[in-house]
Structure 1
Amino acid sequence: MGYTHYWIRPALLDQSVFLEVVRDFKHVLPKLEQLGVLLGDELGRGGGPVVWKDRLVFNGRSACGHEDGFQLDTNHFLPAKRTCEGALGCCYETFSFHQDTGELEKDGDRNGRFFHFCKTAYKPYDFAVIVALIIVKHHFGQEVQVRSDGGTAYWADGMRFCQRHLGYGVDFCLDDANQRTKENVKTM
């Protein structure tokens, strides 16, 4: 499955604001695990995600211990559920968001902005990816554009989760959405 999230950002983001992103993501990590969202490093190995002062890097855990067909049921309004195939684990592609992409990339667009993406195959760690991007968008606003293969309905659970645990999230809006998501989330 090619379910993917995309973001466009400048090469360098303000370090003090990035530390707020790190702080908020660290705050929700135990809550994600309680839901069954088990994160590993970039390859899905145990030990947890890489959450440093200048980066968020993680994948779903490859040895997650979920039974085949485990479904993360956080969005009761969608028939599709984030699903783990058990023995294949919850990992797919690495989510990597750095404060400074200068060492990683040399060519941006003509405005010095860089395109990134993470294909999650709608596995359980997809929920952590959307939570991370909601946090990033909250702190960096229009500096970072966020798009997704999933529309508003696929982000509503992450928006409510962030609102419950961080005090913001229901105002999140995908940059390619035609209408604000806040009204849609309140009706779900």
Structure 2
Amino acid sequence: MGYTHYFKQNKPVADQQWTLLTAQVANVFLLIQNRDVLGQEIVICDSTGTTVLRKCDELFRRTAPGSQNCISFNGHGLLDLDHESFLLCQHAQRDWFCKTAAKPYDFLVVATLILANTYCSDCYEISSDGDELDWLPVLQWLKEHIDARCSLPLRIEPGVSLP
């Protein structure tokens, strides 16, 4: 299977919530892109993994002219740091998943899902193959750099500490 995050969209995200979510995701992008974060350099590319994103607005796209807004990105494919594209949409009520294989772009995937949980909690059900111990470093980083109110999704399993 691989290291995968799951997110079911229960209802569309209101425009005001979506604006706040995308603004915070843009803030994260600006703070992490091409920088060492938690011991790894993070380079965010377009959904194909081939074009390095230079501006935060490149994270956001419409699925087709006149259709819905989405957040879309991947890791750096030319460095073998990509895996499956991350795609989170404003209005698509369906089950989504993103297998990241825990590559560096997973940081932005987890950050985006934590932010979606914080600002759009009634819209998404979020779970993961990772547990609380995998998500806590990103949560702590978000609390320090973006918003102290961030919290883990309810379906993230508690981590098991080894003796």
Q: Which runs of 4+ in 1 moved over 3 A?
A: none
* Matching residue within 38, 45, 50 for 1:40: 45
Q: Which amino acid aligns with 1:40?
A: C
Q: 1:40 to 1:160 in 2, by over 3 A?
A: same
Unpaired runs of at least 5, structure 1? 65-88, 102-112
* Matching residue within 50, 64, 67 for 2:59: 50
Q: Deviations over 1:69-121 (max 9, x none)?
A: xxxxxxxxxxxxxxxxxxxx2100000001122xxxxxxxxxxx521100001
Unpaired runs of at least 5, structure 2? 63-68
1:131 alignment counterpart = 111
Cα distance in 2 between the residues matched to 1:99 and 1:173: 18
1:116 corresponds to 2:125:
no
Aligned length, in residue pairs = 145
Assess if the C-alpha contact under 8 Å between 1:3 and 1:150 holds in 2. yes
Q: Return the TM-score normalized by structure 1.
A: 0.70
2:136 alignment counterpart = 156
Q: What SS does structure 2 have at the residue aligned with 1:40?
A: coil
Assess if the C-alpha contact under 8 Å between 2:11 and 2:123 holds in 1. no
Percent identical residues:
23
Assess if the C-alpha contact under 8 Å between 1:62 and 1:90 holds in 2. yes
* Matching residue within 87, 90, 98 for 1:96: 87
Assess if the C-alpha contact under 8 Å between 1:134 and 1:169 holds in 2. no
Higher relative contact order (CA 8 A, sep 6+): 2
Deviates more, 1:139-148 or 1:42-51: 42-51
Q: What SS does structure 1 have at the residue aligned with 2:48?
A: coil
Assess if the C-alpha contact under 8 Å between 1:4 and 1:149 holds in 2. yes
Q: 1:170 to 1:15 in 2, by over 3 A?
A: closer
Cα distance in 2 between the residues matched to 1:52 and 1:161: 26
Pick the structure with greater CA Rg: 1
Q: Deviations over 1:9-49 (max 9, x none)?
A: 13522111111111001111122222211111110122415
Assess if the C-alpha contact under 8 Å between 2:49 and 2:77 holds in 1. yes
